[in-house]
Amino acid sequence: MRKIIFLTAVMLLSTGISFAQDAAPEPVEKQEESKHDVMDLLRKSLSANSQVIVEDKAGQAAPKSFELHFALELEYEDVENEADSPADSTQEPQGYMEVDKFVLEPILRFDEKTTLRSELQFEFDKTFLRKSYVTFDDLFLDSALSIGLNCRFIRPARKTETYPIIGTAYWRDDGFAMTFNGEKAPVYWYFSIGNGLNLNASKINEDNSFLIIQDDRNGGPRNDAREIGLGLGVKKELGDVGRINAMAFFYEDKLTKNEVLFMQGISGYGVSEEDRRTRGGVSVDYANGPFDFFTQYITSVDGKLDRSGYFVQASYDFDFSKLESFRFLPDKATALIRYNSYDVDMDKYPADSLTWDRQALTVAGLIPLDEFMTLKVEYNFNDETTGDIPIDNDEILLQINIYY
């Protein structure tokens, strides 16, 4: 317990030092020494399998595995300045640097089958509990049960900081649910029941402009609705030609009264009281060595509004470590390209970005700087069908992502 208290104090102290805006800047050499001192201290204070010993009611020692991870994202963001659209304008038209977020991730393993995971996210204008759920593994039929605040099971692993457009629309945020999943190779399945996420208007990328309809964590409680989700997939090793993972999924829910009002506020939607709400689609992942191809398609119904979208993404992991003649290259790097499409089945209103269709092309490079640090360079070519003239809002993002 002293180890945990000591580590927490070190984390808070180092975080406070890093984020203090009024402190005088230190010389680069001193900053480097301080960074290495903190990292060395963290390595000594916490290992991946550190044991926390507590006393149970019988007075016997009960070992519990405890891990504490943290993530820090430092960014430079530059978005084209769009000031002529009747819907909105670029909020940050000049390039700027920021601490995007700081995340604490405690993991407590009560035993081999029971694990509690949480994520506490700090941003400049808010702090919130992003995830907190307990998982019970090794149940009957090789199944597992998770209960708590967690992401939808349709959310894939994400390599870029930029979300796919349908990711922002449908699975970016986390909600409270009970998810039951199992596997009998090559078939696996999911069943979930939860509160669902509120319909809201949210930014699509880093700049808070030209909003999109989103399943949002911030809309308040959904006490008069329940979301039921089903997923069925197949994972198969294909020998020398790689492996494939495909899943079909479906969510059924109803719009709350507040969500019906939200839909009625969208230009051209009308005063419909229809409360049907569904999401359905398919995901396919194919991997062969350093190459990975992923695609996802989602279609949705909210009241009388139909939406759909997809993205296709290819990435390749390069290994330059054995190229003696090119030592200026990083040892490893990942190149990624992704095409996005998102359609809203209604008339387009230039003054209401919630009605727009969207397309985007993301080109990215990811370079590991060391075991804990990755440099991400991303460029987004954004295109919108607005019902009027197009807008200029392409963006470039440079990020240093630290995870320990």
DSSP secondary structure code for residue 352 in this structure: B
Task: Give the residue, 39 or 393, on which the prediction is more confident.
Answer: 393
CA distance 111 to 109: 5
Beta strand 198-202 pairing with 187-194: unpaired
pLDDT above 50 (res 177): yes
Which residue matches tokens 């990975």? 292
Angle at 234 between CA 228 and CA 338, to 5 degrees: 85
pLDDT above 80 for 338: yes
Higher pLDDT, 38 or 147: 147
pTM: 0.83
- Which range, of 4-18, 50-64, 198-212, 315-329, averages the lowest pLDDT? 4-18
Mutual angle of helices 28-45 and 2-19, in 10-degree steps: 160
Tell me if residue 168 falls in helix, strand or coil: helix
State residue 14's pLDDT score.
39
Mean per-residue pLDDT, 290-302: 98
| C-alpha–C-alpha distance, residues 394 and 361, integer Å | 10
Question: Which pLDDT score is estimated for 399?
Answer: 98
Among the four given CATH numbers 2.60.120.10, 4.10.410.60, 2.170.130.10, 2.40.160.10, the one describing domain 47-403? 2.40.160.10
What are the residue ranges spanned by the domains of the chain? 47-403
Burial status of residue 133 (CB atoms within 10 A of its CB: 0-12, 13-18, 19 or more): buried
Question: What distance in Å separates the CA atoms of residue 246 and residue 283, rounded to the nearest whole number?
Answer: 6
Segment 323-345 mean pLDDT: 90
Of 15-29, 175-189, 248-262, which gets the smallest average pLDDT? 15-29
pLDDT score of 219: 64
3-state secondary structure of 171: helix
The widest CA-to-CA distance across the chain, in whole angstroms, is 73
Q: Looking at the DSSP assignment, which residues form a beta bridge with residue 299?
A: 280, 308
